[in-house]
Amino acid sequence: MNINQINKLIKQDIININFEIHKRLKSNIILINKFIKYIINSGGKKIRSTMILLIAKSLTYNKTQHTILATLIEFIHTATLLHDDVIDHSTTRRGKTTANIIFGNPASILIGDFIYTRAFQMMTELQSLRILSLMADAVNIIAEGEILQLTYCNDPTITMNNYMQIIYKKTARLFEVASQSSAILAHANIQQEQALSNYGKYIGIAFQLIDDLLDYNASDIVSFGKNIGNDLNEGKLTLPLLHAIYHSTPKEASIIHQAITDKNNQNLLYTVLNIMQQYGSLDYTRKCAETKINKAINCLNILSPSPYKHALKHLAYFILTRCY
């Protein structure tokens, strides 16, 4: 089952989400409408919202609030991307010029805030204090993750524990809270809720690991829509680099340290790529992601057989094979 087949299974719900996105972000301020139109047309697979829909359906949820939950998760994700692109001085995303380049940094930050607050307005419609509390906590943790990443920028002494903290906070936590909230909305029992929360967490960690891998994978770079080595240029020490440092010679490790410390040092990029290739750092990163995906799939044993459970399994596999 591929991503198109998964989307076909929840086709009407996706239509409803797109309707909600347009309705909720509509404004009488012209700049907001232009900005939102550009974002919507920039695409995206909506993996987090797809996960929410499939979990709700797998638990036989038959109401409509799961589309509200899925929409507000997309809003939170979009707002974080807008802020990230400003912080990272990004120029492309998904192969297209980023909104901050088109509309400027101030507009990107403010409209990111606008989308964030719209998400919180929608949370109250779910009439669940637990979900509201989880979401508020998650957004705070995401902000912590971004600050933690900024703290360790250009720092070659970052540890594996530091790195895992960052990717959990800035990426996996939103996946985790999305899946857990969907389980709560569908009145899952405690065991189901915990298993599905873990499913989201493992999916989120794997997603970021693959993201970090793709940043150095030249064969996937065209469809990924990024320039190869962006993380290195921004001074971000991710798992492929950490693995290379731990397994390389002192001289090779010092080269990687220099590349991390000297921001935007393109001269060392291909030397670093060769070091990672020599020690199998990209393969190691993929294997780590595969381990997390297998853990995520095992979490689905809590669910009864259904087409939606089957789709959740293949959504996990899609994380490993994606090239964007």
The enclosing domain of 132 has a CATH number of: 1.10.600.10
What is the model's pTM? Answer: 0.93
Compute the average pLDDT of residues 79-102. 86
pLDDT tens for 169-226 read: 999 999 999 999 999 999 999 999 999 999 999 999 999 999 999 988 755 444 444 5
Q: Both ends of the chain: CA-CA distance in Å?
A: 19
Percent of the chain with pLDDT over 90: 76
pLDDT digits (tens, 9 = 90+) for 135-152: 999 999 999 999 999 999
- Complete DSSP assignment for 202-213: HHHHHHHHHHHH
Euclidean distance between CA atoms 107 and 266, whole angstroms: 30
What pLDDT was estimated at residue 224?
45
Residues in Cβ contact with 157 at an 8 Å cutoff, skipping those fewer than 6 apart = none
At 282, the pLDDT band (50, 70, 90 cuts) reads very high
Give me the sign of the Cα torsion angle 228, 139, 169, 186: negative
Q: For residues 321 and 290, what is the distance between their CA atoms, to the nearest angstrom?
A: 10
| 77, two tokens | 């994700």
CA 41, distance to chain mean position in Å, is: 19
Report which of 205, 162, 188, 35 is spatially closest to residue 111, judged by C-alpha positions: 35
Average pLDDT for 113-140: 95
How many domains, the chain?
Answer: 1
DSSP secondary structure letter of residue 93: E
Domain hosting residue 273, numbered range: 3-321
